[in-house]
Amino acid sequence: MSGSDSTYHAMFGDGSSVLEHVLLAIIEAHSTPETSGSQQRRLETALAALLGSASPAQRNMEAAHAFMARQRRHAVCEAEMLALSGRGGIPPNIPTIAELAENAARKVLQCRDTDLPAAVDELCNSFRGYQARTAIEPDPICEALKAQAVERICDELAEWDIATSRSGRR
């Protein structure tokens, strides 16, 4: 398994990956009263062991990219719903990547005005790569396929006597 393999990084609607769902199912199945409540920390430890650790700056950029993608999906969905309603009217403005980046820099990265131009440039440039790795349009079929993948992986793990908990979904 490669850390760059898109199968494992395919994102669910909540921003988590197939790999995260499978690991969380295993963690939930192996939780004890002493480890209860530490699932997120254990998940982060497992991900770091499997994929390598990410710096806080990398995690912040990933969170900003996810925020930008959600904002874009929301705007596109509003425009499509208005078009489908047949009511006409002025369609909502779909923000540009630069507008999304500025919003993410302010709200997610908490940039000051002096740091804003550099952060917006970095987000704009790196968001194109993020878009290539993740789908920006909502796709319920893709979400169902990812959920089925988690189920199949958990079933396969069960055959190897590795317990998982399907209630471990976020």
Bridge partners (DSSP) listed for residue 11: 17
To which residue do tokens 């950029």 refer? 61
* 25 vs 58: CA distance, rounded Å: 25
% of the chain exceeding 90 in pLDDT? 14
* 134 vs 9: CA distance, rounded Å: 8
Bridge partners (DSSP) listed for residue 17: 11
The half-sphere exposure of 74 on its side-chain side, counting CA atoms within 13 A, is 8
119: pLDDT strictly greater than 80:
yes
Band of residue 16 on the pLDDT scale cut at 50, 70, 90: low
Q: How much is the mean pLDDT over the chain? A: 78
**pTM of the predicted structure, to 2 decimals:** 0.53
Band of residue 118 on the pLDDT scale cut at 50, 70, 90: very high
What average pLDDT does range 75-99 have in this prediction?
81
Sequence-separated (6 or more) residues with CB below 8 Å from residue 107: 67
Q: In the prediction, which pLDDT does 117 show?
A: 93
The Cα diameter of the chain in Å comes to 58
Q: In the prediction, which pLDDT does 4 show?
A: 39
Decide if 16 contacts 44 (C-beta within 8 A). Answer: no
